[in-house]
Amino acid sequence: MAGHISHEPSSSALSRGSFLKLGGITAAATGLGAAGLELGPLAAPASAAPSITRMGTVTGPDITSGWGVTSTDLGIPALTPDGRILAIFGDTWSEQGVGNGDWRSPVGLYADPERPLADGIGWTGAVGGDYAHQLVPYAHDSNPVSTILPGDVITLGDTMYLWVMVNHGFGTVGSTEIWSSSDSGESWHRGGTMFEGGHAGGLMQQATWTYSHDDDHVYVLTTGFQRDKPIILHRVFGGAIMDPAAYEPWGYANGAWGWGNPPTPVLEGSFGEMCWRIIDGTWVLSWFNAGEGTVDVLLHDGPTANLHEATHHQILHNAPWGAETETGVSQLYGGYIVPGSTLDDLHLLVSQWRTGPDWPYWTQQFRVRGLV
């Protein structure tokens, strides 16, 4: 029922508490991709370490509780067609602590795009008006849908698209969908199933995407939702984003990489939440590296660049509660790039969830300078 999470949704589902404890990069340790393709480790981190500033919490009591968004995570931001920032959040409760109050997911908050990011993101309203409503109506239960969680949001022309994962018990993705909005996120249309949870070997659940004006393609990186899998790549023409059959995989076959080959991991590891954006002509991938408990950033030249040779930064790392530092963040995850970021001044929204007491459960803003 609303406000309560079932901890026994199915035999294969994860509890919310165990979800953050997944880790261990098994495939990456071997350096082998699909079909034994030798991939090798990530490139060594850039020699000059970037400067990191923890700017503070951007959700929680007295910050977003006025919209009924007291306990929440994620915060996936995109520019709306009318020029605002819209951030999409995951499981959200109206009271302090996971499971307390009105349970909704996903919800959205608007921010002022004119406010300097160095001053901290400034919320101006919610999807739904004075109270943040669930973007589309559905019941939270485990028969079969426990919750629907956002993967990434993108704006193409006058339309926004939101990739979501339909959970049949937390961590068990039954299918993915794409929702659309033609009024800058004020209302959303729920699309049908895009991909079943087992599609592409379960590697097409969690997603991030970015649009290239050069060739009118949306490029999509996906992985499983369990934080223990590599990533694969697809592309789709912008006008066909709602057509599952239009997604073309990138893969390795007959001694060469190419479009239309069976999808092959482009980067091994234990991937969690991801965010892929083009900034100042550079492709920037940020993600929660579940195997190492870090938030990482890669800078590369294009969608099919060898990610193992990309400039690699580990921005944040896990630290025990009570022993946090500017870059040591307890039970961190997420890492979404805020619109308006530059390569010299990158802003990330990073979540924390202290399992057990289930508080704090919020999102913080980090400023990263000196990536290049």
Phi first, then psi, for residue 163 (nearest 5°) are -80, 125
Tokens of 338: 């805020």
Q: Alpha-carbon distance 344 to 369, whole Å?
A: 5
The contacts of residue 220 (CB under 8 Å, 6+ apart) are 207, 208, 209, 233, 234, 235, 236, 247
232-237 and 248-253 as β-strands: parallel, antiparallel, unpaired?
Answer: antiparallel
Query: Which residue has 């339309």 as its token pair?
Result: 159
Contact 359, 97 (CB under 8 A): yes
With beta carbons less than 8 A apart as the criterion, state whether 319 and 328 touch.
yes
348 φ, ψ (degrees, to nearest 5)? -125, 140
pLDDT tens digit at each of 372 positions of the chain: 222 222 233 334 555 655 555 443 333 322 333 333 444 456 555 557 899 999 999 999 999 999 999 999 999 999 999 999 999 999 999 999 999 999 999 999 999 999 999 999 999 999 999 999 999 999 999 889 999 999 999 999 999 999 999 999 888 999 999 999 999 999 999 999 999 999 999 999 999 999 999 999 999 999 999 999 999 999 999 999 999 999 999 999 999 999 999 999 999 999 999 999 999 999 999 999 999 999 999 999 999 999 999 999 999 999 999 999 999 999 999 999 999 999 999 999 999 999 999 999 999 999 999 998
Q: Which two tokens stand for residue 147?
A: 């919750």
299: part of which helix (H) or strand (E)? Answer: strand 294-300
